[in-house]
Copies of this chain bind each other. A is one copy, B any other.
Amino acid sequence: MIERGLFIGRFQPFHKGHLKVVANLLNKVEELIILVGSSQYSHTINNPFTTGERITMIRLALNEASIEPNRYIIVAAPDVEMHSIWVSHIISYSPNFQIIFSNEPLTRYLFTEAGFEVKFISFYKRAMLSATEIRKRMLSGGDWEELVPKSIVQFIKHIDGVKRIINLSKKDNPY
The chain A residues found within 8 Å of chain B, CB to CB, are: 8-10, 37-44, 50-53, 55-56, 59, 63, 68-70, 73-76, 81-89, 91-96, 102-110, 121, 123, 130-132, 163-164, 167-168, 170-175
Contact = CB atoms under 8 A, between A and B. Distances in A.
A175 B37 contact: yes
B96 A43 contact: no
A148 B106 CA distance: 25
Contact of A104 (B75, B87, B172): B172
**Chain copies in the assembled complex:** 6
Contacts of A9: 173, 175
Contacts of A94: 52, 55
A107 B103 CA distance: 34
Contacts of A69: 68-70
A153 to B, nearest CB: 17
Contact of A168 (B51, B105, B130): B105
B81 A89 contact: no
